[in-house]
Amino acid sequence: MQEIPESFTRHSALRLADRYLSAMALMRQGSVQVYLLAAVLMGLALWVRLAIAPVSAGLQYVTLFPAVTLAAIAGGYRAGLLATAIGLVFASFIFTPPYYTFSVEAVRTSLWSNLVFLMDGVIVSYSIQAMHRYRQGYALELRQSQQVNAALRHSEAMLAQFKYSLDQTLDGVYFFLPGSLRFIYANKGALRQVGYGEAELMQMTPLDINPQFTNPHFQEMLEPLLDGRQTANVFESMLRHKDGHDIPVEIALQFVRGESHVSHFIAFSRDITERKQAQSILLERENRYRTLVENSPICIHEIDRGGRLTSMNRAGLQMMGSEDECSIRGLLYLDAVSAADRERIGELLDRAYSGEISHFEFKSAGQRERIFKSCFVPLTDGEGKVERLMGITEDITEYRAAEEQVRSLAFYDTLTQLPNRRLLLDRLRHALATSARSGRYGGLLFIDLDNFKLLNDTLGHDKGDLLLQQVAQRLAGCVREGDTVARLGGDEFVVMLEDVSNDRDESMLQIGTVGAKLLAALHQPFMLSGCEHRSTLSIGATLFKGQDRRIEELLRQADLAMYRSKNAGRNTLRFFDPEIDLMPNDSVTGVGEHS
């Protein structure tokens, strides 16, 4: 006999089950349909019985019992019991003499046959009901089995895909049981991490590959996951490779409570060797930076968005006269700035909050004024927004004093503190340019002390230095603030007058007036360490306008005029006259020994 295909058998069974369930659904629609079905079947059975033989022939159960069976099959046990009851009525009323009437004698006559019929009807009805339930259970079981098989095939496909996805990740994924802690799954990333084969690892537990775990400590870590107090536990630890070296990892541990599968722990392990190395390098740089900042000789500090100090190194604290960083934290930066500079530094502070680096100098507030050189460097967050400023500040008070001293040595006479020859030439160059633009005259007066060499020889150089200092003071007191009094060297001085007049004669008159004032001022006696001394001057003057003559030429003209003043008897002033003061062929330097 040809074997029936399994697929066909299952299909037929499912079809029958569907029909059965449809019939049962019809039955469940209501009891009226069930009873109506039983009555119709019994009526049909009675009609067939009456059609095939007369009433007196008996044989009533030949058609009534099959009707009961059909009613039970089609409508369930309720329909079968109803059909049995109807059959009893038919048997007693129609088929028992006297026919078509109820009597005690008829009931007594048909009692045993009716009891047998009743028992058969009850047995058949409940038997068929049991068969219905069996078929229903079989159909449901068959359907559920197919659903389970389909779900199993889907789960296997999903699991295969899930395992494939897990094997593609570089992270290690470990499944282990809560009781024995034995591994039940590890992806390829996990096998690469620890260097074991899959068969080897399945015989091990997390305690075997983690040198930092002990059983009590690990169990204590798992308890919050088991009782639901934690959903996950993320921590850093170490995994020991098969060859013995340790690997720094970050582990995310979760517990999966199973209903259709075994409960287990899942551990996701990520190798953080590179992160640890980067953190180590970053920490080393941070420590190096902190060491540099703390030991830097200049002040390094941070300012928040409110303009308040938040931190400062040791050099800054010493600069502020504080010993503890807490004492300066929260102070307004601008409170340390002098009132004259505060508005300007406040503007630079606002620009720094906009991302601009600023370099500036300012004077400190307080009685002990200091000069500082500083800068603002914006520090941004991860989104590029300025969250605070770094300030780098250096006390340059001594530097500025030294710079001023160097400038003074370079441009001023150390004895008299008057501008020296270099500064005079620079100012004369600017005066000529200004005169060229304005068209106004200026004057140059070359001054030489009379008989100064004799004073040095008789009273000593210290007395001569005192005389030069007092002469410088008197000369400076005789001119305007914008004019220049300079010492060329020895006993030679030069006075430069600017912006005198547009008229030449008027300019000569004003310069002559200033010269007379100088002669009168220096004619007064000088006190040289208790000794009274009188001195006179010889002055040579020349005019300049624009840049038609060179600076050295102007100095030579004034020097020649001064010679003529000495020849005229000293203590007088003479203007340069090109017709009288013949220029020598060899250059006159303007710095000579005059007696």
Residue 497, CB-side half-sphere exposure with 13 Å CA sphere: 26
pLDDT surpasses 50 at 21 = no
CA distance 84 to 62: 13
CB-based contacts of 204, cutoff 8 Å, min separation 6: 182, 183, 196
List the 358-363 sheet strands across, edge first: 309-312, 299-304, 386-395, 371-380, 358-363
Region of poorest pLDDT, from 105-109, 264-268, 404-408, 579-583: 579-583
CA distance 72 to 42: 12
With H, G, I as helix, E, B as strand and everything else as coil, classify residue 415: coil
Q: What was the pLDDT predicted at 592? A: 42
CA distance 505 to 8: 140
* Reported pTM: 0.45
Q: What was the pLDDT predicted at 300? A: 87
Residue listed under structure tokens 């200004």:
434
Q: What is the mean pLDDT of residues 318-346?
A: 87
Nearest to 301 by CA among 323, 327, 329, 321: 329
Over residues 244-291, the pLDDT tens digits come to 999 999 999 999 887 656 788 999 999 998 888 888 888 888 888 777
Over residues 440-494, the pLDDT tens digits come to 999 999 999 988 888 888 888 888 899 999 999 999 999 988 899 999 888 899 9
Both tokens of 55, joined, read 């009433």
With H, G, I as helix, E, B as strand and everything else as coil, classify residue 248: strand
Over residues 498-508, the pLDDT tens digits come to 999 999 999 99
Which segments of 365-484 does DSSP mark as H helices, in order? Answer: 397-411, 421-438, 452-459, 461-476
Mean pLDDT for the chain overall: 82
CA distance 314 to 299: 8
Q: What was the pLDDT predicted at 6? A: 44
Q: In this structure, are residues 487 and 416 in contact, taking their beta carbons and an 8 Å threshold?
A: yes
**CA–CA distance from 509 to each of 20, 442, 498, 515 (Å)?**
143, 12, 14, 10
Domains and CATH numbers, the chain: 6-142 (no CATH), 170-277 (3.30.450.20), 298-400 (3.30.450.20), 412-575 (3.30.70.270)
- Is beta strand 246-256 parallel, antiparallel or unpaired with respect to 264-271? antiparallel
Q: In this structure, are residues 535 and 526 in contact, taking their beta carbons and an 8 Å threshold?
A: yes
Residue 374's φ and ψ, nearest 5 degrees, are -145, 170
